Amino acid sequence: MKINDKNLIKLGFKKEFNTPVCDDDEKFFYFTYEINEHCLLISSDNLESESDGGYYVEFYEIPDIHFTDLGDLKMLIKLLKRGLL
């Protein structure tokens, strides 16, 4: 199942808004989920999600790995939380 904003909020993601640099910059938002101080998940922004038909989530600063399926994302969060020391 594709990921939508309601799914992200229900999983505990925090909605973050961009700070436009210029008046004509388009406003957008994205979601973050902090596993701990060293591990952060970040979603695509709402503009991308509209064109892609859903959000994807990746590890902050590791764009080569991303998740587009809600079930996979839930499993990832569960495994990461289980592995916390």
Confidence (pLDDT) at 32: 98
Q: Residue 84's pLDDT is what?
A: 84
pLDDT at residue 85 in the model: 74
pLDDT, residue 26, reads 78
Q: Are 73 and 63 in contact (CB under 8 A)?
A: no
- Rounded distance between C-alpha atoms, residue 83 and residue 30, angstroms: 26
| Nearest-angstrom CA–CA distance, 19 and 80 | 30
Q: How many CB atoms lie within 10 A of CB 59?
A: 17
How confident is the model over 19-33, as pLDDT tens digits? Answer: 766 666 778 999 999
Instruction: Using 70 as the pLDDT threshold, list the residues of the chain that sit under it.
Output: 20-24
Contact 39, 80 (CB under 8 A): yes
At 23 the three-state DSSP class reads coil
Please tell me the predicted confidence (pLDDT) of residue 18: 87
pTM of the predicted model over 0.75: yes
